[in-house]
Amino acid sequence: MATATNLGFPRIGAHRELKRAVEGYWNGDLTKEELRDAARALRTSHWSTQQDLGLDVVPSNDFSYYDQVLDACAMVGAVPERFPWDGTEVDLDTYFAMARGLQEKDLAGEGSGVQAMEMTKWFDTNYHYIVPEFSRDTEFSLSSTKVIDEYEEAKAQGVETRPVLIGPVSFLLLGKTQEGDLDALDLLGDLLPVYAEVLRELADAGCEAVQLDEPNLVLDLSDEERAAVDTAYEALSRQLSGLDLDLHVATYFGGLEDNLPTALNLPIDALHLDLVRAPGQLEDALDHGVPDDLSLSLGVIDGRNVWRADLDTLLDTVETAVGALGSDRVLVGPSCSLLHVPVDLDTEPALSDEMKQWFAFATQKIEEIVALAERSRQPSESEEATEALFAKSRQARQARAQSDWINDAAVQDRVADIGASMTERNSSHASRRPLQRDALDLPTLPTTTIGSYPQTDDVRRMRAKYKKDEISREEYEDFIEEQIADTIAAQEEIGLDVLVHGESERGDMVEYFGRQLDGFLFTENGWVQSYGSRCVRPPIIAGDVSRPEPMTTRWLSYANDQTDQPVKGMLTGPVTMLQWSFVRDDQPRAETCRQIALAIRDEVLDLEEGGIQAIQIDEPAFREGLPLRESQWDDYLDWAVECFRLASCGVRDETQIHTHMCYSEFNDIIEAIADMDADVISVEASRSKMELLDSFDEFDYPNEIGPGVYDIHSPRVPSVEEMEALIQKALEVLDPEQMWVNPDCGLKTRRWVEVRPSLENMVQAAENVREPAVA
């Protein structure tokens, strides 16, 4: 019979319980044991929920205090030498230090602190993972038994689970080597014995199957990388010979394509296919030939979006596999881990009944998985039990197709009328640059920040009171004006050249705008993890998008009136609005993005009319949206660049357009970034020690660049000398007149006690470098 399975459950809790517990521990409000108790309660709840919903295979070790790749680093002892670790067990404090860095006080006065490990995007999602670091001196050893401990914990609860691990090849390929001539795969032979040891211990504990995630199999791989996959699993198969332990390899976020033969011929027991991103690969696999001893896991329920599934269509897919392989060789599951969707739709009482029927969160997706598995293995017996869910699926499709709320003819007509002139600036950047420098009165190496400033407890408290109608709109707006005035004054005291208003009126950079645009829906508890304890609540783009009225001019005009220095307007770009939302699935994503771009264009022109001469249109998700396969890049880049230009190109030459991108590899899309024609791009660079600037240098990037010199994802305060060294390193590849000095990202998650001295040090570092650079 077909097996109902899950690749992973959201770890943060329906009400962000994990976030509060972890931050409580960091702040000293919770003890280590209290943090562990909170984590244990979440795991217990999640296992019970999935078991009660009827899953046959419940995952374990999908829980993490911070990140699953960091968990793998701890498991195999891949701890960079700069962290204080005695080489035995990686304890919780070492684990968090790797993610967040260490400030001087943590090291009893030794040095100026320890920099956190680099963080970057998890494939094409908005989740971020900690990047493993490898060198020839890396020695792997079993240094965390978390995966075994959590399996035994679930078993004691009466839940048999399938532990989840990052596969050994993907683990190495997701990391970075510290020596240029070292290939991470050279370390595979040293890594595999640790994996084998973990798998043996799981087998000894009674584990029946383990899920090894190899998402890199959906990428363009070299022959050497494919050979490494063969080598790894052949070696593990030999070392586990005689053990009663099944190996399930999970691939997701795309199709296997040319890697399909490699995956199908691995000595494993089950292979998971993402049939949401690549629905045709089931047919490809069956045509190629599935070995008689291999089961297929069908990722038919979308693990990355919130729409209710078309169960009738998906049942046809499952039945095709059952017909070809037999029901005992078919597993039914989500396309990927459910980490990327909210926990439970039942926590959303504010959504109307009409709209609520359109959606499925993690809990409801498991119901869909179970219904498909039951219907496929016992069609006649299970039809009555599952028909209610199938009927909901049909009703949701019909309701969306007929909803007046979704369709706006005026928006559709405006998109149809987009002309080429709307995506071109009046002059080249070379002509615009001197006009902008004069208009803004900028020095060499101008300093600025990315937009947001610390969201203090007072800010959050007043926002919450306003949302609950405990204070009037006038009281709330008076408070926001005070915050803006204070933030402007602080920046003037620090000595920054281009100021921002601080964004104290905003919670999330996408939600803030989405709430003011038609076509967006919002949840109360639709939280998903972005990184560590950082959670976001993505909007749902359900209908045609338009801007009823200006969104930011009220606050930017007020900020502009508080200072004689230039104030930069802050907007979220159309591609990021798209990428960081749950997007409607009834029209092409490019069409939705063009609608958003027109709305942002209207806001840009209103800001310019209001006297704002520098406008930042953030696109941190631009690289994230790039398809994983190079053969699909051109189409995406064409419409993504078009949408940015559509939003930004209506302004005069004197108006300076900024954009911001973070945690991305740019070398493969540098031409597209240049085609965006932003006057200034700021990028994350401090953790990578300016590594990504190589791509801008090799391409001879023509516009201006602000490489981040202050790592805002760590609480430590970087010294003047540290940031000065980063500026000097950047100037090895950039012209002084081309470079800006700024933090990596916005400062919302930091505290003023960290931000102020960090920015003072940044400004001082720029001043120290500025005079010799000018001379």
Q: Which residues of 531-548 are buried (b: 16+ CB within 10 A; e: fewer)?
A: bbbebbbbbbbbbbbbbe
Query: Are the C-beta atoms of residues 356 and 277 closer than 8 Å to each other?
Result: no
Amino acid 323: pLDDT = 96
- Name the average pLDDT for the chain: 94
> Is residue 693's pLDDT more than 80?
no
How remote is the C-alpha of 562 from its chain's centroid?
A: 36
Mean pLDDT of 529-544: 94
Beta-carbon contacts of 67 under 8 Å, excluding residues fewer than 6 positions away, are: 99, 128, 129, 130, 531, 532
> Is residue 91's pLDDT more than 70?
yes
Mean pLDDT of 426-437: 96
Pairing mode, strands 330-334 and 295-301 = parallel
119 beta partners: 130
Closest by CA to 596, choosing from 677, 517, 511, is: 517
Query: Per residue in 72-88, pLDDT tens?
Result: 999 999 999 999 999 99
Amino acid 682: pLDDT = 93
Amino acid 664: pLDDT = 61
Query: Are the C-beta atoms of residues 71 and 132 closer than 8 Å to each other?
Result: no
> Is residue 109's pLDDT more than 70?
no
Amino acid 111: pLDDT = 41
* HSE-up of residue 420 (Cα within 13 Å, Cβ side): 0
Tokens of 231: 């080598």
Query: Per residue in 643-658, pLDDT tens?
Result: 999 999 999 999 999 9
Query: Per residue in 339-389, pLDDT tens?
Result: 999 999 999 988 888 889 999 999 999 999 999 999 987 666 667 779 999
Amino acid 686: pLDDT = 81
Amino acid 108: pLDDT = 42
Query: Per residue in 726-759, pLDDT tens?
Result: 999 999 989 999 999 999 999 998 999 999 999 9
Amino acid 112: pLDDT = 58
Query: Per residue in 304-342, pLDDT tens?
Result: 999 999 999 999 999 999 999 999 999 999 999 999 999
Query: Per residue in 187-229, pLDDT tens?
Result: 999 999 999 999 999 999 999 999 999 999 999 999 999 999 9
Mean pLDDT of 113-118: 90
Query: Per residue in 665-680, pLDDT tens?
Result: 677 888 999 999 999 9
Query: Per residue in 241-300, pLDDT tens?
Result: 989 999 999 999 999 999 999 999 999 999 999 999 999 999 999 999 999 999 999 999
> Is residue 775's pLDDT more than 70?
no
> Is residue 622's pLDDT more than 60?
yes
> Is residue 107's pLDDT more than 60?
no
pLDDT over 90 for what percent of the chain? 86
Cα 470 to Cα 475: distance, rounded to the nearest angstrom: 10
Amino acid 479: pLDDT = 96
> Is residue 404's pLDDT more than 90?
no
Query: Per residue in 454-482, pLDDT tens?
Result: 999 999 999 999 989 999 999 999 999 99
Query: Are the C-beta atoms of residues 364 and 6 closer than 8 Å to each other?
Result: no
Amino acid 354: pLDDT = 85
Beta-carbon contacts of 604 under 8 Å, excluding residues fewer than 6 positions away, are: 569, 571, 615, 617, 647, 648, 650, 651
Q: How confident is the model at residue 1 (pLDDT cuts 50, 70, 90)?
A: confident
Q: Is 438 exposed, middle or buried (0-12, 13-18, 19+ CB in 10 A)?
A: exposed
Q: What secondary structure letter does DSSP report for 749? A: T
Q: How confident is the model at residue 110 (pLDDT cuts 50, 70, 90)?
A: very low
* Residues annotated catalytic, as ranges: 713
Q: Is 230 exposed, middle or buried (0-12, 13-18, 19+ CB in 10 A)?
A: middle
Cα 666 to Cα 686: distance, rounded to the nearest angstrom: 15
Mean pLDDT of 593-611: 98
Query: Per residue in 547-578, pLDDT tens?
Result: 999 999 999 999 999 999 999 999 999 999 99
In the chain, how long is the greatest CA-to-CA distance?
84
Tokens of 450: 């990315």
Amino acid 113: pLDDT = 81
pTM greater than 0.75: yes
